[in-house]
Amino acid sequence: MNELRLRIYEQIINKDSGGKTSLFNKVCGVTIFISIFFAVIETENSIDYQFGNQIDVMDWIIGGLFCIEYLCRLWIAPLEGKYGKGFAGVLRYIVSPMAIIDIIAIVPSFIGVRAELKILRIIRLLRILKIGRSEKFKQSIFHFNYALKSKSQELQISTFYTVLLLLLSSTFMYLAESSIQPELLGSIPRCLWWSITTVTAVGYGDSLPVTAVGKTIASVTSLLGIGAIAIPTGILASGFSESIGMQDKNLNDLNKKLDLKA
């Protein structure tokens, strides 16, 4: 029994897997994405009407697999060290954030909600939170946080540029179009909405300039808006690259030390 417990522990924490994702975590990852897929398509009335019963059966199966995963994690919790040993370790794990996320993801599978209770069915999508268990997801969050912290000053300058562009373009558009289109562009806040959709290249089309001056302002805003998007993108990409480079360097240094010891 202890040997089985140790094997499950090694599978869950990816121990001795050569840096690759263990079979246990691969199965969990596939199950999570399948469950999210069914939770999404179930909101389509025609699909739910035709395949609702089959989807419910799949949801029960997925819920059962999540229960098995949860029980396995409960069983090996005392072996992780950070929760403590024995029954106290199990109790500490139960109240941990990740264990609470697991419960939130499991419970919706066993709530008998039908088509007339669409809002309740949506809570099944909360199992998306289980993606947070993925090691790749955790690494991505680490790299993202590093990029934000290491490039915070550059991002502040980029933000200032974007805000300045929005204010100037909306002010100039107000001066050019307010008398001609008072309902759409008759105030700076209304022009600010136009400016945001233009700079971000969304372009809803509900507010458009009709004068030559207004169109010129819109053209310049669109061109400058490319920089408003490209600059922070480049900054974050640089931060990501630095973080990944540091991780690779640390891994290479560790491998060299292990080789020397060997």
| In-domain check, residue 257 | yes
B/e letters for 28-49, b = 16+ CB within 10 Å, e = fewer, are bbebbeebbebbeebeeeeebe
CB atoms closer than 10 angstroms to residue 98? 12
* Domain end residue (candidates: 105, 133, 161): 133
Total domain count, the chain: 2
Same domain, 42 and 125: yes
State whether 109 and 167 are in the same domain. Answer: no
Picking from 90, 61, 91, the residue whose alpha carbon sits closest to that of residue 75 is 90
Which pLDDT value is given to residue 46?
84
Q: 111 and 167: one domain? A: no
Write the CB contacts of 187 (distance below 8 Å, at least 6 apart in sequence). 174, 178
Please check whether residues 20 and 98 belong to one and the same domain: yes
User: Which domain-ending residue is among 64, 99, 133?
Assistant: 133
- Six-digit token pair at 50? 């035709």
Q: Answer for the pair 126, 108: CB distance below 8 angstroms, yes or no.
A: yes
List alpha helices for 182-211, DSSP H: 182-185, 188-199
Q: Domain boundary residue among 69, 102, 133?
A: 133
Look up the CATH number of the domain holding residue 170.
1.10.287.70
**Is residue 12 located within the same domain as residue 129?**
yes
pLDDT given for residue 117 in this prediction:
47
In this structure, the answer to whether residues 59 and 89 fall within a common structural domain is yes
Same domain, 51 and 117: yes
The whole-number pLDDT of residue 85 equals 80
pLDDT of 116 reads: 45
Q: Which of 86, 66, 65, 64 is nearest to 75 (CA)?
A: 86
- Specify whether 155 is located in the same domain as 247: yes
The tens place of each residue's pLDDT in the chain, 262 residues long, gives: 678 888 888 777 765 555 566 788 788 878 888 887 887 787 777 887 788 788 888 888 888 888 998 898 888 888 877 777 888 888 888 888 878 878 877 877 776 554 444 445 555 566 566 666 666 777 788 888 888 889 999 999 999 999 999 999 999 999 999 999 999 899 999 999 999 999 988 777 788 899 999 999 999 999 999 988 899 999 999 988 888 888 778 777 766 776 666 5
Looking at the structure, tell me whether residues 37 and 98 fall in a common domain.
yes
pLDDT of residue 132: 63
Angle value at C-alpha 221, between 183 and 196, nearest 5 degrees: 55
Q: Indicate whether 246 belongs to any domain.
A: yes
Q: What is the DSSP letter of 22?
A: P
**Residue 97 tokens, joined:** 């954030």
CA distances in angstroms from 41 to 36, 104, 113, 124, 130, listed in the order given: 9, 20, 15, 12, 19
Reduce the secondary structure of 60-77 to three states and give it as a string.
Answer: HHHHHHHHHHHHHHHHHH
| Amino acid making up residue 97 | P
Task: Using alpha carbons, list the distances in angstroms from residue 40 to 15, 32, 126, 167.
Answer: 34, 12, 11, 39
Q: Looking at the structure, do residues 65 and 97 belong to the same domain, yes or no? A: yes
Task: State the pTM of this model.
Answer: 0.59
Q: Which of 95, 34, 100 is nearest to 63 (CA)?
A: 34
How buried is residue 5: exposed, middle or buried, by Cβ count under 10 Å (0-12/13-18/19+)? middle
What is residue 211's DSSP assignment?
S
Please report, as a single letter, which amino acid is at residue 49.
Y
Closest CA to 223 of 207, 191, 201: 201
Question: Which is nearest to 233 in space by CA: 155, 146, 145, 152?
Answer: 155
Instruction: Please give the structure tokens belonging to residue 238.
Output: 């640089």
Q: Which domain holds residue 228?
A: 148-261
